[in-house]
Amino acid sequence: MGVFLAIAIGGAIGSLLRFYLSKFLQNKFGIEFPVGTLIVNLTGAFFIGLFFSYLVEKLDVSVELRAFLITGLLGGFTTFSTFSYESFNLILNGEYLKFLAYFMGTNLVGLLLTFLGYNVGRWL
């Protein structure tokens, strides 16, 4: 199986898992707080760290399996896992200013663009 197919299959599975887990948790705990998304994001952040350290660094799994699990499955499950992994790597490499720019840019600019997109949608 090629890398692209591995990513596509993993992404489809991860997206479905995200949808059903988030929906289940929101139905169970209510919608006053986005607990489903929070748990999905935090779970994804944990598993991307686990998969990278164990499967990539210790077991040296194939490129296809790595692409399926990390890029596909966890990328489809949550993009937050990629964000946390990339932020962690910047810290590990001592790139503190790059980390701060990435962290603040992603969160603050992302929120600003969501606000902008929302208002453009209301204007259309």
Spans of all domains in the chain: 3-79
Rounded average pLDDT over 25-36: 84
Is 75 annotated as ligand-binding? yes
Least confident of 37-41, 53-57, 109-113: 53-57
Residue 7 has pLDDT above 90, yes or no: yes
**Rounded Cα distance, 23 and 81, in Å:** 19
60: left (phi over 0), alpha (psi -120 to 50) or beta: left
Closest CA to 75 of 6, 8, 11: 11
Residue 43 neighbours by CB distance under 10 Å: 18
Choose between 2 and 1: higher pLDDT: 2
